[in-house]
Amino acid sequence: MTRRNWRNIDRRTFLKGAALAGGVLIAGGLGYRQYYHHAGRDFQPDRAGAYLDSIQRSEHPEALPNIIIILTDDLGYGDLESPAVDTPNLERMAAAGARLTSFYATASVCSPSRAGLLTGRYPVRTLMTNPLMSTHDAMNLVMDILGRYSYGVTGIPQDEVLLPEVLSRRGYRTGLVGKWHLGGKPGYLPNDRGFDSFYGALWSNDDQPYAIYQDREIAVEAPADQDVLTQNFTHAALDFIRAHREDPFFLYLAHAMPHVPTHASADFRGRSAAGLYGDAVAELDWSVGQILDTLDELGLAGKTLVMFSSDNGPWWQGNPGYARGRKLLTFEGGFRVPFIATWPGVIPPGTSSRAMSMNFDLFPTCLQFAGVPLPQDRIIDGRDIMPVLLGAAESPHETLLYYDTRTLKAIRYQHWKYHARFRTDNAAFWPLAQGPFLFDLDTDPNESYSLIESLPELAARLAGMLEARNAEMAANLRGWLG
């Protein structure tokens, strides 16, 4: 064999060996990633089963109040106060009930906020820290490759206990109308997670293909006509109420608007001085009016708690309440959202409170109405806010946490808010870190004047509190007890 042939054989052997080594490394990397994901998730599904099995069906279902949560998508805190937007039904609702002016979402983006609302826990505990993408969307693969899904989780974990699961065990008829956004695979669908009925979309309305489901089957093929979404969701919600007028029911009406792409029906286009966004908000206000009028018509108003809010602050359009920041930011404009509740004969008309609360408070509040004890095997971050709705001045919370995906960026302690150092919200300098900041939300609700130099001891105390919460979360991410 010539020397040249030996070189050819060596080259071929080298290439084969390199390919084999590369394959081993890739397989090893994927194997380690899979192991890391499963170990870090700390899944304990038996916990949820044990708690749900302990819930007894009510012996007096007629005494249980109906519960309706109306959740809008990307509606700003200030949209209900803007002179450009007319919201007479929400004004009527606030005049008849309670408005909370320091109410927050648990996240400044969709899926995590919804997870917090339905579990009573900070989204970081539920591993829902980023918006989920459709399994048909290329971005879903990109998010997975980049590790943006916490421990690779793409659906609300089955060891989490959801509000509809609890209420269903207690004897409620449960229905979701509108946006789910907590998983799209079998085992993670609305009908798998406590909802008797589902009419709506699995994802955000900017995620294609956008179809409307009736339970597990497609009812409206993609692309669904989004001009009529608010009207269709409203009519489905009214059908649910009428169908279960004799039963205690829990209705979660999760509207798609005014999230982009923003739509409104022909009946509402051009009604608002705030353009198409304002038209969409006006139609949402109409929807609220339809719900309230139907409860009155059926004689159910006096036994129904209705709550209205948004999943986070506004995105490209909308009014964040003249506060700093928007969706995706930990400033007030991203987290602070409108909240109105009405329950004739129970909540005093015209009640208003600045006591701070968060959407995870709705979980323990609803369980208290249903006569169900909270789970004792996990940390529940929410608190019963019924005393606040009845006019109590005190918040059940001394601190609230503001997460950006898995990172704790800010903490509110009483009326003080501390931001750790982070990339600035100023577009011209977005790669640069700024802060830390300290704000007094009583005198500076817009977070315009940092007191970090004026009150260094207080700033250091809040920084220590933030780090202590980080350490606590690192030691027990899922918040399991016992």
The answer to whether 366 is a known catalytic residue is no
Q: Which residue, among 337, 338, 339, 347, has the nearest Cα to 305 in the 3D structure?
A: 347
**What string of DSSP letters covers 267-279?**
TTTT--TTHHHHH
- Residue 436 has φ and ψ, to the nearest 5°, of -70, 165
- In whole angstroms, what is the distance from residue 125 CA to residue 378 CA? 10
Query: Residue 113 in contact with residue 302, Cβ under 8 Å?
Result: no
Among 37, 38, 136, 181, which one carries the catalytic annotation? 181
Of 37, 38, 60, 110, the active-site residue reads 110
Let me know the angle formed at the C-alpha of 417 by 416 and 421, rounded to the nearest 5 degrees: 145
When computed from its CA atoms, the radius of gyration of the chain, rounded to whole angstroms, is 24
CA–CA separation, 382 and 123 (whole Å): 12
* Spatial strand order in the sheet of 399-404: 399-404, 407-413, 416-419, 437-440
Of the candidates 119, 44, 47, which has an alpha carbon nearest to the alpha carbon of residue 376?
47
- Full strand arrangement of the beta sheet holding 66-72: 217-220, 212-214, 197-201, 173-179, 249-254, 66-72, 304-310, 339-342, 98-100, 351-353
Cβ contact 89:289 at 8 Å:
yes
DSSP letter string over 310-347? Answer: ESS--SSSS--SS-S--TTSSSHHHHB--EEEE-TTTS
For the chain, the straight-line distance linking the first and the last C-alpha, in angstroms and rounded, comes to 72
Q: What is the rounded CA–CA span in Å between residue 418 and residue 422?
A: 12
List 72's β-bridge partners, or say none. Answer: 310
In the beta sheet, which residues pair with residue 174? 250
The residues annotated with a catalytic role in the active site are 110, 181
